Amino acid sequence: MYSVRHLFLALAAVITVTAGLAPAVSVPASPLAAQQVDTLAFKDLRYRMVGPYRGGRSTAAAGFVNDPDRWLMGTTGGGVWESDDNGVTWRNISDGFFGGSIGAVKVADSDPNVIYVGQGSMDIRGNTSAGRGAWKSMDAGRTWSFIGLREAGQIGRIEVHPRDHDLVYAAALGHPFGKNPERGVFRSRDGGSTWEHVLSLNDSTGASDLTMDMTNPRILYAGMWRGERKPWALISGAEEGGVYKTTDGGDTWTKLGGGLPGGLVGKVGVSVSPADPDRVWAIIEAEPDGGVYRSDDGGASWTRTNSDNNLRQRAWYYTHVQADPVDPNTVYALNTSMYRSVDGGTTFEVIPVPHGDVHDLWIQPSDPGRMVVANDGGAQVTVNGGETWSTYFNQPTAELYDVIVDNGFPYRLYGAQQDNTTISVTAWSDVNTLYPKQHWLNIGGCETGPIALHPNRPHIVYAGCYGGVMDRYDLQSGQRRNIMLYPQLQLGMAAKDLRHRFQWVSPMLVSQHDPRVIYHGSQHVNRSRDEGVNWETISPDLTTDNPAHQEQSGGPINADVTGVEIYNVVFSLAESPFDADEIWAGSDDGRVHITRDGGVNWTEITPAAMPELGTVDEIELSTHRPGRAYLAVQRYRLDDFGPYVFRTDDFGATWTLNTTGIPDDHPVRTVREDPVRSGLVFAGTEYGVFASFDAGSSWQSFQRNLPETPVTGMRVAHDDLIVSTQGRSFWILDDISPLREIEAAVAAGTYLFTPRDARRLTNVGVAGLSELNPEPAPSGAQIHYYLEEEPDEDVLIEIMDAGGAVVGAFASDSAAAEDMDGERIARAAGLNRIAWTISYPGPELPEGAVVWGYSGGVAAPPGVYSVRLTVGETVLERNFELFADPRIPEVTVASYQEQFRVAMLARDSINSISRAIDDLAAIRDQVEAVLERARAAGQDAELQPLADTLTDKSMGVTEDLMQTRNRSGQDPIRFAPRLDNQWLELYGRVTGTDGYISGGAEGAPDPGTLERLETLLEEWEGVRLRYTDLLENELRRFNEAVELMGLPAVVLPRRARIVS
């Protein structure tokens, strides 16, 4: 707790500085905004993943029968991942083709290059993402092809013929939120090119599981289940449910009885034993006869072997059984834990796994001690029968409900991770990080959140949990207190019996005008003016308050109420940035209200085009004009996948529905407006991000490199676009400032964007000693320019300080780049991003020199700098400011200037030494060349003594300037450093960055450093005099002699003159 407390005490001093950088005025929208922007104008903008590496939910896993170290994981929001080292590392193999929710993965036994994937998790949570078909790879996951079943919804199992990978079966539950005919078992005889619907019962009962007899692949068993979600209910069970069998490859099916439960049957899991194909296992949701069943005669008769509630609780979420491939008496049941029986299913013991809520298990047929398990923490691998497992802290697949940010430096991201805890991570870490997890914080509440805080007061965090729990967490004192306004246990209760209907993710808000004021949404808006000590309900019921939507969720077999199913609630809240008395509230059943007098009066302002029972997922109030608001509304939980984005400019009196450019099957979950540029708006959908440049009138994809995953939340802050996802953790698109000028850039053809003000930092970069680092933030000053097409002329970019001196350069011409000691850039069309390192050129070192220490550039002092773009006759210039690190306000401008003066003095001294070393080497080389010619002419006898004296003195001076015996990187440990390396050591102390040995200096050098500077200046002066004496005496005498002989004199290359 000491470290967290001091972290936030330190942040307190930073917040006022960083907040002061926010633009004071907004940027107006361009008149060209209604036009679609060419995607080339976004070319170099990219998202980066910032963690956490903490696995999110997976309900599908598989392995390769021919490769015991190789495994696959299908996540419920992040696509398909592969490990080839038993879970030590994972990499995504579906990005670029598909992503999102995965329900089944299967590798063909006959050809490991053939992999089938079914989308849509079978374990249908209230916020589950719907599947959109099946995919196939013929090259072990390098490329993928879509193979249909688009309307099959949740595909929870795929079976492939063991000797014919073109014969494949898919178990499809159907749409999770509505009825549809495409559910049951499908068969393809041609590898997915075409499909037959071989087991179809009705439009509400689908297949929950499927298992194949690998000794006779014509025999398959299917579990059939009516499972469906509504926002207010879970339906699990029907008369048609149960175990079905085919003996002719799926042409005909028979519902099995023989001791299995009859009547209402819910979710079913089935598994045929590879060790004894007559032995079949089933786990069945039914009351009172549910449990684990075993058949020893191929399904003709069944015996219930176990009815323990631990194996069948919350059946819709679990209900999976897996037979051991070698031992017919060993079977696994998956529930909150993984259970194993070795006595034919009579008794089960817990097999500890790294994370709870277990959904799938694949066992290596040749070695059943090697397994992969899929659970709410991703996938983990064991190679010793479950004694130990790989970790889930190596999978960036967190399912996050939302994101908020503070004004710290670096700023932090806050969210709630499904199936884990709330979490806060930094926007970037630095080279001093030992392990990224050292920056993580659990900030109260639980997996649902949400999180609320005042961005300038982040040490006080409000974190929620299902049932209306709200924690006030003081990160300085470490004290966490539940401040729930009415602590009534919600679990298992009907909504109608609750005083306050709090949804799974009940909205909470800290006033931006007064951080002591907080709001919490139930069916009412509730407010506290003293940080949660006292509460008042300030609104009537703002929902439809429909009794039909408030019964106990579940049935017809089991009830299930966690909060996801609590309906008729306030789902979103927003406070006006202009008026603390103006509050907006949106419900999950399609109503919108506003108060402009602090809750005394409420007015319904629901858009006329609001879809029936639409969930108002987000309300975004404009910072540019009072009365402007955006609504993100979704109905995917009612099987409507259309996008709904509304805008009002008059406090809700009128609304427009604006979705042009967003595909018809992309539900919108979140919408955010840029606080700087009016009309620049972003929408987060089930499948990615869209941008609008005309206040939502039209949209276009802004997906860039973001993987396909549900976008659950967004913030536009600190000139960044910050994104939370349901399956791929947090992402940041750094520096969106070019988007604020993009229409002007496209209109101009050649354009230099106004750079974002930069920060001078010494600790940027990736921690070299840690693993699983989030992507580092772009370092330096980001410079953006736009070229309509690749120009014929060269492109030149120069960075200049306040005095007009060029301190950095980028050129498309390689010779120009080398001459200017700059970087080469391409003449590429579109938006180009480059980065100035915020430094003046560093010291020049002799070619091949082996030294120890920092040799980078001189840190630029804070101040105003300019960028100049030259393309042919076009010359454009923009200014930006370099600010000091806000965490060290004690360093003054004068101190930075003194540091810069000393650093430049050290750099110039090193350059002088390097030139002297180069000159002396050139002298020796030329002396030897002249001697060769003299020997050929028989003139060397008179010249040799002069050459020896000159060479000996040259080497003597050189050996004082550099260690000539250094050949490898660690030779400086063997041989004492000379003057060049001593100067380099001082230089690094004055202007270096944080590194392995020393910290980067900020501010004027300390007295010891200045004392060392004086000593080195004296030592260099002594050697410099000897060097000058050599030039003026020994070299002059040598050149006079060779001139008399008619031989070429020695020339100093840097001076281009003869010393004589």
How far apart (Å, rounded) are the C-alpha atoms in residues 697 and 683? 12
pLDDT band at 764 (very low <50, low <70, confident <90, very high): confident
DSSP for 230-293 reads ETTEEEE-BTT-EEEEESSTTSS-EE--TTS--SSB--EEEEE-SS-TT-EEEEE--TTT-EEE
> Is it the case that residue 1059 has pLDDT exceeding 50?
no
> Is it the case that residue 860 has pLDDT exceeding 90?
yes
**Token digits of residue 270:** 């089935």
Q: Note whether 368 and 391 are within 8 A (CB).
A: no
Q: Which comes out higher in pLDDT, residue 653 or 432?
A: 653
Q: Note whether 687 and 129 are within 8 A (CB).
A: no
Amino acid at 824: R
> Is it the case that residue 769 has pLDDT exceeding 90?
no
Give residue 349's pLDDT: 98
How far apart (Å, rounded) are the C-alpha atoms in residues 605 and 586? 10
pLDDT digits (tens, 9 = 90+) for 191-239: 999 999 999 999 999 999 999 999 999 999 999 999 999 999 999 999 9
Bridging pattern class, strands 823-824 and 806-811: parallel
Q: Note whether 354 and 380 are within 8 A (CB).
A: yes
> Is it the case that residue 774 has pLDDT exceeding 90?
no
Least Cα distance to 853 among 662, 989, 661 occurs for: 989
Percentage of the residues of the chain whose pLDDT score is greater than 70: 96
> Is it the case that residue 30 has pLDDT exceeding 90?
no
Q: Residue 180: what are its φ and ψ, rounded to 5°?
A: -160, 155
DSSP for 665-725 reads T--EEEEEE-SSBTT-EEEEETTEEEEESSTTSS-EE--TT--S--EEEEEEETTEEEEEE
Amino acid at 699: W
pLDDT band at 185 (very low <50, low <70, confident <90, very high): very high
Q: Note whether 234 and 293 are within 8 A (CB).
A: no
Mean pLDDT value of segment 71-89: 98
pLDDT digits (tens, 9 = 90+) for 525-583: 999 999 999 999 999 999 999 999 999 999 999 999 999 999 999 999 999 999 999 99
How far apart (Å, rounded) are the C-alpha atoms in residues 327 and 330? 5
Q: Identify the sign of the CA torsion 700, 704, 710, 714.
A: negative
DSSP for 124-187 reads --TTPPPP--EEEESSTTSS-EE-S-TT-B-EEEEEE-SS-TT-EEEEE-B-TTS--S--EEEE
Q: Residue 893: what are its φ and ψ, rounded to 5°?
A: -60, -40
Other Cβ atoms less than 10 A from the Cβ of 664: the count is 8
Give residue 913's pLDDT: 96
pLDDT digits (tens, 9 = 90+) for 435-480: 889 999 999 999 999 999 999 999 999 999 999 999 999 999 999 9
**Token digits of residue 166:** 């073109």
Instruction: Report how far apart the first and last C-alpha atoms of the chain are (Å, whole number).
Output: 73
Cβ density class 580-618: b for 16+ within 10 Å, e for less: eebbbbbbbbbbbbbbbeebeebeebbbeebbebbbbbb
Q: Note whether 142 and 163 are within 8 A (CB).
A: no
pLDDT band at 302 (very low <50, low <70, confident <90, very high): very high
> Is it the case that residue 16 has pLDDT exceeding 90?
no
**Furthest-apart CA pair in the chain: how many Å?**
119
Give residue 1053's pLDDT: 72
How far apart (Å, rounded) are the C-alpha atoms in residues 1036 and 1040? 6
C-alpha distance from residue 790 to each of 179, 738, 814, 1006 (Å): 53, 19, 17, 50
Pick the range with the lowest mean pLDDT from 10-24, 184-198, 255-269: 10-24
User: What are 426's strand-pairing partners?
Assistant: 412
**Token digits of residue 417:** 């991770």
How far apart (Å, rounded) are the C-alpha atoms in residues 759 and 882? 6
| Helix, coil or strand: residue 8 | helix
How far apart (Å, rounded) are the C-alpha atoms in residues 823 and 230? 58
Q: Which comes out higher in pLDDT, residue 629 or 774?
A: 629
pLDDT digits (tens, 9 = 90+) for 351-387: 999 999 999 999 999 999 999 999 999 999 999 999 9
Mean pLDDT value of segment 589-604: 98
Burial label, 139 (beta-carbon count in 10 A; 0-12, 13-18, 19+): exposed
Least Cα distance to 446 among 471, 481, 483, 479 occurs for: 471
Q: Note whether 236 and 316 are within 8 A (CB).
A: yes
Other Cβ atoms less than 10 A from the Cβ of 515: the count is 15
How far apart (Å, rounded) are the C-alpha atoms in residues 498 and 488? 8
Least Cα distance to 594 among 559, 542, 646, 635 occurs for: 542
How far apart (Å, rounded) are the C-alpha atoms in residues 234 and 231? 8
Q: Which comes out higher in pLDDT, residue 772 or 510?
A: 510
Q: Identify the sign of the CA torsion 336, 340, 345, 348.
A: negative
Q: What angle do CA 760, 884, 676 make, to 5 degrees?
A: 90
**Token digits of residue 835:** 């980065």
Length of the chain: 1060
Mean pLDDT value of segment 18-37: 47
C-alpha distance from residue 483 to each of 41, 436, 444, 471, 476 (Å): 48, 31, 12, 6, 18
Least Cα distance to 822 among 844, 807, 843, 804 occurs for: 807
Give residue 431's pLDDT: 82
DSSP for 447-467 reads TT--EEEETTEEEEEEEEETT
Place of tokens 């101040």: 863
Place of tokens 């050697």: 1023
Mean pLDDT value of segment 795-824: 95
Place of tokens 């068969």: 187
Bridging pattern class, strands 358-363 and 349-351: unpaired
The mean pLDDT of the chain is 94
Bridging pattern class, strands 758-759 and 874-883: parallel
pLDDT band at 961 (very low <50, low <70, confident <90, very high): very high
> Is it the case that residue 279 has pLDDT exceeding 70?
yes
pLDDT band at 9 (very low <50, low <70, confident <90, very high): very low
Q: Note whether 217 and 161 are within 8 A (CB).
A: yes
Q: Say which residues have a Cβ less than 8 Å from residue 1018's Cβ, sequence separation at least 6.
A: none
pLDDT band at 1054 (very low <50, low <70, confident <90, very high): low
Pick the range with the lowest mean pLDDT from 36-40, 78-82, 831-835, 1006-1010: 36-40
C-alpha distance from residue 1037 to each of 117, 950, 1049 (Å): 84, 9, 11
Give residue 6's pLDDT: 38
| Helix, coil or strand: residue 1030 | helix
Q: What angle do CA 465, 466, 467 make, to 5 degrees?
A: 115
How far apart (Å, rounded) are the C-alpha atoms in residues 105 and 134? 10
Give residue 17's pLDDT: 31
> Is it the case that residue 1057 has pLDDT exceeding 50?
no
pLDDT band at 840 (very low <50, low <70, confident <90, very high): very high
Percentage of the residues of the chain whose pLDDT score is greater than 90: 90
Other Cβ atoms less than 10 A from the Cβ of 258: the count is 13
Pick the range with the lowest mean pLDDT from 161-175, 319-333, 400-414, 982-996: 982-996
Q: Say which residues have a Cβ less than 8 Å from residue 487's Cβ, sequence separation at least 6.
A: none
Cβ density class 893-922: b for 16+ within 10 Å, e for less: eebbebbbebbeebbebbbbbbbbbbbbbb
pLDDT band at 999 (very low <50, low <70, confident <90, very high): confident
